Structure 1
Amino acid sequence: MPGMIRELYENKDELGFLSMESFFGLRTTVMISYWRSNEELLAYAKGQKHLTAWKNFNQKVTGTDAVGIYHETYYVPEGNYESIYGNMPLHGLGKAAKHLPITAETVSAKKRLTSSTTTK
């Protein structure tokens, strides 16, 4: 898996990869990735590093019910989301997309989500 993640970060622009977040808990590991487009995500999913990592994972967990997996994909059109950060580093969508400060023109959620200046 580390080789796949390294490849994503080293080739972000050509792959369409924007950012990733990972969370590790007692019984849960979550990886969230952000992509420029569905097409680029699907193209990477069929690429050699991803297929190799997926094959290795499946070989390790075959025959055991100790590991589960779920996969969700969401398409969010540009301008149809917001992430707000107060006194913390950029995270999630804030790392993956353009970060804009809140101004007098975008002080409320309604103003931010309907403003033509909130280009993500």
Structure 2
Amino acid sequence: MVDLTTHDHDGELAVFLIGARINKLWRPDGWWPALAAMTAMLRELYQDPDSGFLGATTLVGARGPTVAQYWRSVEDVYAYANAAERAHRPAWLEFYRRAQRVPGAVGVWHETFSVPAGGHETLYADIPGAMGLASATGVVPAARRGRTARERIRSRPA
């Protein structure tokens, strides 16, 4: 029998995708600091449950990483990004300085999605442990939210 699970989150959430595209592989002095800064920011976020950060999944592509982050809200994403005392602000300023010295070595991008309660659905078939949104929010049997994707995306807390 196939073990079907889904994520354990009923409210709104924000999905924040951020990535780096290495454009000049021969210039690690231009791209390595950006990748190191991403790692430091994730470490900081995992140590602060009050930030609104729920968790992340890192995907590695041929030209660089993409990190799918899950947050309680878009406001929490923006609060972290704009907080002077957090790792993001100085890393972003350093990215701009480095881009002047090593132009075009690395590109950084992000996309932010505000997902309302009941507007997210997942299914994991025979996935030991957790991945994706379930790694950030926990795992429950899929039947708890519905038998089909359409039922799960419409499920709302009672």
Band of TM-score, shorter chain: 0.7 to 0.9
Counterpart for residue 45 of structure 2: 8
Q: How many Å apart are 1:41 and its aligned residue?
A: 0.9
**1:92–1:4 CA distance, 2 compared to 1 (3 A):** same
State the Cα deviation string for residues 33-76 of structure 1 (Å, max 9, x = none): 11101111111001231101212223223341121222111000
1:1-120 correspondence to structure 2 within 5 Å: 1=37, 2-12=39-49, 14-47=50-83, 48=85, 49-62=87-100, 63-88=102-127, 89-103=129-143, 106-116=146-156
Q: Structure 1: state its 5+ residue gaps.
A: none
Distance 1:78 1:8 in 2: 23
Q: What count of residue pairs does the alignment treat as equivalent?
A: 117
Kindly report the root-mean-square deviation, in angstroms, between the aligned alpha carbons of the 2 structures: 2.2
- Greater RCO between the two (CA within 8 Å, min separation 6)? 2
Question: With structure 1 as the length reference, what TM-score do the two structures score?
Answer: 0.82
Q: Which runs of 5+ in 2 are unaligned?
A: 1-36
Structure 2 CA distance for partners of 1:105 and 1:57, relative to 1, 3 Å: closer
Change (3 A) 1:40 1:105: closer
Q: What is the CA–CA distance in structure 1 between the aligned matches of 2:141 and 2:80, rounded to whole Å?
A: 32
Amino acid at match of 2:91: A
